[in-house]
Chains A and B, each alone.
Chain A
Amino acid sequence: MTLTVDTLTEWMNNFTAKIELNQQFLSDLDTPIGDGDHGFNMNRGMQAVTQKLTEKPASLMAALKQIAMTLISTVGGASGPLYGTAFLEMAKKSDTIDDLGELLEAGLAGLEKRGGAKPGDKTMVDVWAALVPAVKSHDLTESKITAAVEATKDLVAKKGRASYLGERSKGHVDPGSQSSGYLFEALLETKGLL
């Protein structure tokens, strides 16, 4: 499960394709509980990431750092700093480690630190916390991803814009969790990584 510049690039390209395909769906998810732009923001950010990665970065660390910087400067809102932090923490860790599971674990720690959210708060942390251990134990599956994303539906939001709705946030899948679900699906589709 060694992450390389090439597998990272393929993973990101797969992620971009999924975001592009589902940008309207992600923004629709965001409409009742947020401000309705998550899909468009993520698409703008990932298009920029894909564009940057066409020129091959010199190292895994350089690649992860470039992804982080591109996301924070183009996505905006809260998703920009959150995804940006996840990749930045992975970049820091990649100085000494290239194991995908351990890198993702550092990314999750970064997400928790930046947003102050814990599992159960109805944020993307729920999906990462459920799936990073699956990556580490080599049994990430499509159905686990779907289950992790769907599980956010019946939670009451405790963090982020949706938290102001309290009980009314129930019944909606968290948009950040859905986009994170695509990130893990993109991993499954990346050859020779898991």
Chain B
Amino acid sequence: MKKIINDPVNVVREMVAGMVRSYPQYLTKIPETNAVMRADRNSLAGKVGIVSGGGSGHEPTHAGFVGQGMLSAAVCGEVFTSPTPDQIYAAIKAVDQGQGVFLVVKNYSGDVMNFDMAKDLAQMDGIKVKSIVVDDDIAVENSTFTQGRRGVAGTVFMHKVLGAAAQSGASLDEVATLAQKVLPCIKTIAVALSAATNPETGKPGFVLSDDEIEFGVGIHSEPGYRRETIKPAKELVAELVKQLDKQMQLSAQKKYAVLVNGMGATPLMEQYIFSNDLLDKLQEYQIEPVFMKIGNYMTSLDMAGISLTLFELQDTQWLDYLQAPTKTIAW
């Protein structure tokens, strides 16, 4: 393992310190936690708070999306490990303005249980809290970390849409209803070229030989659905789009937002090649995406690979929410 770290035990604490000190215009640390909130507290006033978080190692998720127009706070757990409920609760308390707080949780058993518990703690203290569990990964029904489908890169679209809605003054109930409507419209699938190496264990999550790839891996190197020899980008695109089409019934009559997401060790050059082929492929369906993002949004440490998220925009307002301005590090 070669990594630019000091002591594996301190990676999360030092990462949070580095982010907050480098970007004080966006982030401030919530005392006694590894949670961060907006430095611009005025932008929270009178609004519903949107809080997300989870294990670290998915940067820029989640802290990179904290700021005006997106998340109010993010809670950073240990590497690939859910944050504890007291830390989540501290974030809820820090951002609550009396209008309530909405939690965006990815479908991993630890995250679900710990966020649920934090919700109970906040409710005991009279804070209104609602939540959604994102399960956008279509690769496998179950994984080694979840019961049901995993929550992966599509969560970033959820953050943006709900963040913009909250910024425009939506109530907690309105945010919750919006989240429920958006959830089934976001689907993601990934392909990996190599696994992530967790700094605490020092070992990769799985081993692929030089010419092997795996379709459908999760964001913690959980297994996917098929292993093959490496193919040209065009063929990877064809496979991923085929899987998404099966689930979403792609149609020229519908409008889509697209997220092409690097998993941490995939150069932007390869992501743009993938995007070029993707746009060709979508043209075969007579689909021209109305919104696109290409880059590293939900990574898995140093995993090489790419994920593709399609978001069917059933409501024109959702596109407005995606396009609304933000003041964050990474959107």
Tell me if A72 counts as interface (CB < 8 A to partner B): yes
- 106-163 of chain B: CB within 8 A of chain A: 109-110, 113-114, 116-117, 120-121, 124, 142, 144, 147
- Which of the segments B3-11, B79-87, B293-301 contacts the partner chain? B79-87
B117 close to A115 (CB less than 8 A)? no
Q: Could you say which of B86, B116, B142 contacts A114, with CB atoms under 8 Å apart? A: B116
Q: Which residues of B contact A163 (CB under 8 A)?
A: 147
Q: Which residues of B contact A81 (CB under 8 A)?
A: 85, 113-114, 116-117
The CA-CA distance from A78 to B142 in the complex, in Å, is 18
Q: Which residues of A contact B85 (CB under 8 A)?
A: 72-73, 80-81, 84
A78 close to B110 (CB less than 8 A)? yes
The CA-CA distance from A139 to B117 in the complex, in Å, is 32
Which of under 10, 10 to 19, 20 to 34, or 35 or more describes the interface residues of B?
10 to 19
The CA-CA distance from A163 to B147 in the complex, in Å, is 9
Q: Could you say which of B84, B120, B121, B144 contacts A76, with CB atoms under 8 Å apart? A: B84
What does DSSP make chain B's interface, helix, strand, loop or mixed? helix
Known: A78-B110, A164-B144. A72 touches B116 (CB 8 A): no
In whole Å, how far is B217's beta carbon from the nearest beta carbon of chain A?
A: 16
Tell me if A88 counts as interface (CB < 8 A to partner B): yes
Number of chain A residues whose Cβ lies closer than 8 Å to a Cβ of chain B: 20
A85 close to B117 (CB less than 8 A)? yes
Q: Which residues of A contact B142 (CB under 8 A)?
A: 164
Tell me if A69 counts as interface (CB < 8 A to partner B): yes
Tell me if A32 counts as interface (CB < 8 A to partner B): no
B113 close to A115 (CB less than 8 A)? yes
Known: A78-B109, A160-B109, A163-B147. A114 touches B117 (CB 8 A): yes
The CA-CA distance from A69 to B84 in the complex, in Å, is 10
In whole Å, how far is B137's beta carbon from the nearest beta carbon of chain A?
A: 16
**Closest A residue, CB atoms, query B114:** A81
Q: Could you say which of A73, A88, A160 contacts B120, with CB atoms under 8 Å apart? A: A88
In whole Å, how far is B118's beta carbon from the nearest beta carbon of chain A?
A: 9
Tell me if A92 counts as interface (CB < 8 A to partner B): yes
**Closest B residue, CB atoms, query A115:** B113
The CA-CA distance from A76 to B83 in the complex, in Å, is 8
Q: Which residues of A contact B124 (CB under 8 A)?
A: 88, 92
Known: A78-B109, A78-B113. A85 touches B120 (CB 8 A): yes
Q: Which residues of A contact B114 (CB under 8 A)?
A: 80-81
Q: Could you say which of B81, B84, B113, B116 contacts A73, with CB atoms under 8 Å apart? A: B84
Tell me if A171 counts as interface (CB < 8 A to partner B): no
Q: Which residues of B contact A92 (CB under 8 A)?
A: 124
Give me the interface of B with A, judged by CB distance under 8 Å.
81, 84-87, 109-110, 113-114, 116-117, 120-121, 124, 142, 144, 147
Give me the 8 closest cross-chain CB pairs, A-B, nearest first.
A73-B86, A81-B117, A81-B113, A72-B85, A73-B84, A81-B114, A164-B144, A78-B113
8 pairs of residues in contact across A and B, judged by CB atoms under 8 Å: A72-B84, A73-B86, A76-B81, A76-B84, A80-B114, A92-B124, A114-B116, A160-B109
Starting from the known contacts A80-B114, A81-B114, A115-B113, 18 additional A-B residue pairs (CB-CB under 8 Å) come to A72-B84, A72-B85, A72-B117, A73-B86, A76-B84, A78-B110, A80-B85, A81-B116, A84-B85, A85-B117, A85-B120, A88-B117, A88-B120, A88-B124, A92-B124, A114-B113, A160-B109, A161-B144
